Amino acid sequence: MLTKEDNMTSKDLSIFNSLRPFSIGFDDMFDQFENMLGNGGMSMQSNYPPYNIRKTGKDKYSIEVALAGFTKKDVEVEFEDNMLTVRTKQTDKSENKDQDGEILHKGISQRQFARSFTIADDVKVIGAELKDGLLTIACERVIPDYKKKKLIEIK
């Protein structure tokens, strides 16, 4: 039985498919939307860790991921094939002690996670900083010369 969410997904997919004949060179983008909406990928990803996407300038963006209790040794940021992924590194769970002593009660969660973001072709990931429990990833839209507005001379 289709739920309300399934109907919305089917409707969204039909909109993208109906736009295909009117676009050139956007097949990858439509495929990405189909993958996100068609296989339930959006509902499968958990809400942990929470994040913000902020526009910090005309062509600048930042992704802020709340990582309380994590250090930069615990987390990795990977960018490959237009996919930016923030995830925990594999750790040795046999260690029950840290530099400050043995943990008797662990109330600060450090569960494993992987959070992915699809980045446009013309957006460049500049860098990442973890400060005060907030991982900030800086991004910038770089518009190549061939995409900039220009007047075409009529002969």
Q: Is the pLDDT of residue 136 over 90?
A: yes
Spatial separation of the C-alpha atoms in residues 84 and 32, rounded to whole Å? 14
Tell me the per-residue pLDDT of 21-70, one tens digit each, with 9 for 90 and over. 555 555 666 666 666 555 544 444 568 889 999 999 989 999 999 998 88
pTM of the model: 0.62
Tell me the per-residue pLDDT of 78-127, one tens digit each, with 9 for 90 and over. 999 889 999 998 765 555 555 677 778 776 666 788 999 989 888 999 99
Of 36 and 143, the structure prediction assigns the larger pLDDT to 143
Tell me the per-residue pLDDT of 55-64, one tens digit each, with 9 for 90 and over. 999 899 999 9
User: Which residues fall within 8 angstroms of residue 134, CB to CB, at 6 or more apart?
Assistant: 64, 65, 66, 67
Question: Are 135 and 51 within 8 A, CB to CB?
Answer: no
| Class level of CATH domain 47-92+108-150 | mainly beta
Q: Is the peptide bond before 50 cis (omega within 30 degrees of 0)?
A: no
pLDDT confidence tier of residue 77, bands split at 50, 70 and 90: very high
